[in-house]
Amino acid sequence: MMMKKRQHRLLAVPLLLSSILSTSIGSSAYADSSNDIYFEATGKLDIEVSGFSEEGQFVGQNYQHNTSLAVEPELYWDWNNANDSVVFTPFVRWDEQDDERTHVDIRELLWTHVTDNWEFRTGVGKVFWGVTEFNHLVDVINQTDIVDSFDGEEKLGQPMISASKVTDAGIIDAYLLPGFRERTFPGQNGRLRAGLEIDTRGATYESGNKDQHLDVALRWSHSIGVYDFGVYGFKGTDRTPTFNQVNINGNNYLRPHYQQITQYGLDAQATIDSWLLKLEAIAKSSRNDDYLASQAGFEYTFYGIADTLADLGVLLEYGWDERGRSSTAIAQNDIYLGSRIALNNTDDTAILVGGSYDMDYQSKSLLVEASQRLNDYWTVALDAAVFIAKDSQDNASSFDKDDRVQLTLERYF
């Protein structure tokens, strides 16, 4: 191995201390009336156990179980009648098998100042855009934390300076993004990874300023009747890298390359009785490529099924990429079907079952997510994933032997 590995023991010690401290102090709040300062400390501790149906297909994946611990405190202050606030959310994970998944991040360290019609934010923050369930094409501000969650839902904190203006014609958000975060990837021992290990330390950039390029974004969002929509423009370093294969000391690796792009996006949702109609679309251009992509579908909810408090939602989406088989995205011609059940009970029991079918490569996947509160402090979650992808030309074929069940205990404090 050419890349220096993190040491489990060194990171496990502060993680363990943080876990003990976080679990023992519980949730706390403090208000100083003399100085008009309010403080609150919350957060969560995750204990994650995963089991795989078989050993992986690549070198280093000769195991079928994994344990991981994560702690994510959140510290919040506000003052000046809550017109000023700071939120600090560090994140630490230790992983038994994958050294690259053992990592530390600052999810948020953000100061916010609010006036009558303006909101200013400075620091490290998280911004989410999107309305679809299975793929978020328009979510462009934050970098994806692949090692923490393979489905792309977890994001790294992004350095930013932003301002929002509320008007009768909608909300205008402007962003200056002065620092770029490289995407995280599983290491050689990680599951749900590409066949070749990714040389993250050798990443290259189109910009001469590399990870210090100043990116910009501008978004307008509005609601008219049953319609909610947003449009934006982004110019800067692409959060999704391309890859070049390189040989280092006789071993082949994939080396990320980050292009400069201009991207325009639209997200829209219509709420019509029990229907949610959803659309995300982008137009993306770079030095080597120009293309359109979209994710569209609907969700229909049956309320109070079988004379109970439970609701049943049915979801259908279609993902399309103009590049077709030459696309580097997994969702280039895919149908997604899912069902969401919310029991609406005191334990917040919820289940999401979803499946995908790639009409170009005939690959399939099945995902199950279920969660329930055990008491005021503990929640249990069950996630299962099955992949059937035999075509080596399909990016999803790397996951063909990664069927897994994951049990997570979450302790909130």
- The pLDDT tens digits of the residues spanning 297-324 come to 999 999 999 899 999 999 999 999 999 9
Q: What is the pLDDT of residue 238?
A: 97
- Confirm whether 384 is domain-assigned: yes
On whether the CB atoms of residues 160 and 141 are closer than 8 A, the answer is: yes
**pLDDT tens across 258-294, in order?**
999 999 999 999 999 999 999 999 999 999 899 999 9
Q: Stretch 20-40: mean pLDDT, rounded?
A: 64
- Confirm whether 2 is domain-assigned: no
Structure tokens at 170: 């909608």
**pLDDT value at 391 more than 80:** yes
Q: What whole-number distance in Å separates Cα of residue 364 and Cα of residue 380? A: 27
Structure tokens at 352: 């999401």
Burial class of residue 163, CB neighbours in 10 A (0-12, 13-18, 19+): middle
Structure tokens at 286: 């770079």
**pLDDT value at 60 more than 70:** yes
Quote helix, strand, coil % in the chain, to nearest 5.
10, 55, 35
- Residue 34 — very low, low, confident or very high, per pLDDT cuts 50/70/90? low
Cα-based distances in Å from 161 to 158, 320, 380? 10, 33, 37
On whether the CB atoms of residues 270 and 226 are closer than 8 A, the answer is: yes
Structure tokens at 11: 């990171």
- Confirm whether 97 is domain-assigned: yes
In the chain, the amino acid numbered 293 is A
Question: How are strands ordered across the β-sheet holding 204-205?
Answer: 204-205, 251-258, 242-248
First to last CA, the chain: 40
- Residue 152 — very low, low, confident or very high, per pLDDT cuts 50/70/90? confident
Q: What whole-number distance in Å separates Cα of residue 20 and Cα of residue 43? A: 13
**pLDDT value at 21 more than 50:** no
Contacts 24+ apart (CB under 8 A), 276-281: 276/300, 276/301, 278/131, 278/132, 278/133, 278/317, 279/131, 279/132, 280/130, 280/131, 280/132, 280/135, 280/136, 280/137, 280/138, 281/137, 281/138
Q: What whole-number distance in Å separates Cα of residue 24 and Cα of residue 31? A: 21
CB environment 212-224: b (16+ within 10 A), e (fewer): ebebebebbbeee
175: closest CA among 124, 114, 106, 210? 124
Output the furthest CA–CA distance in the chain (Å, rounded). 67
Cα-based distances in Å from 20 to 45, 48, 70? 10, 17, 12
**pLDDT value at 25 more than 50:** no
HSE-CB at 57 with a 13 A cutoff on CA atoms is: 16
- Confirm whether 271 is domain-assigned: yes
Please name the residue that has the structure tokens 């490529």. Answer: 289
Tell me how many domains the chain contains.
1
Q: What whole-number distance in Å separates Cα of residue 266 and Cα of residue 232? A: 7
In the chain, the amino acid numbered 96 is E
Q: What is the pLDDT of residue 250?
A: 87
- Confirm whether 29 is domain-assigned: yes
For residue 277, give the CATH number of its domain.
Answer: 2.40.160.10
Q: What is the pLDDT of residue 267?
A: 98
- Confirm whether 229 is domain-assigned: yes
Element (H, E) at 20: helix 8-25
- Confirm whether 293 is domain-assigned: yes
Residue span of the structural domain in which 212 resides: 8-412
pTM of the model: 0.88
Handedness of CA 370, 335, 254, 281 (dihedral sign): negative
Helix, strand or coil for residue 322?
A: coil
- Confirm whether 1 is domain-assigned: no
Query: CB-based contacts of 74: which residues, under 8 Å, 6+ apart?
Result: 41, 42, 43, 87, 88, 89, 108
**pLDDT tens across 224-256, in order?**
999 999 999 999 999 999 999 999 888 899 999
Q: What whole-number distance in Å separates Cα of residue 194 and Cα of residue 223? A: 41
Handedness of CA 338, 317, 230, 89 (dihedral sign): positive
Cα-based distances in Å from 122 to 115, 159, 178? 15, 8, 11
On whether the CB atoms of residues 155 and 144 are closer than 8 A, the answer is: yes
290 dihedral zone (left: phi>0; alpha: psi -120 to 50; beta)? beta
Q: What whole-number distance in Å separates Cα of residue 344 and Cα of residue 219? A: 35
- Residue 335 — very low, low, confident or very high, per pLDDT cuts 50/70/90? very high
Structure tokens at 332: 């280039």
